[in-house]
Amino acid sequence: MTGPPPNPHGSEQRPVEQVLHEAGFPVDLLTEEQRLVLGDLTPQELTLLLDVKNRLDAVGPEVQAHGEIAGGALF
C-alpha cells in the first residue's frame, strides 16, 4: 500500500482510527491512551504501519501458526 486510502470527501483527512479500523486493526479494543497515540501518527507513520500489517497479513497462516505454538502474539 502506498498510503492511507483516499478520502472521498476531498482534501480533508480521515481520522487515523477510522483508517486503521477499515484496515482490520481492532481499534475498539484499545485503551483511550492507545487511541491517542495512534491519533498522533504522522501520515508517513500511518503508511508504514499499514504496510507492515499488509506484509504480516500476506504471511498470516505461517505467523499465526508460530504464534500458537510459541504462545505469543505480535499485536
| pLDDT 10s digits, 46-72 | 999 999 999 998 987 765 555 555 555
Q: How far is 65 from 52, CA to CA, in rounded Å? A: 18
* Prediction pTM value: 0.61
Q: Which helix (H) or strand (E) holds 18?
A: helix 16-22
Q: How far is 51 from 69, CA to CA, in rounded Å? A: 25
Q: Sign (positive/negative) of CA torsion 19, 22, 26, 27?
A: positive
| Mean pLDDT score, 20-37 | 94
Instruction: Report residue 60 as a C-alpha cell.
Output: 498470516
Cell 492507545, residue?
34
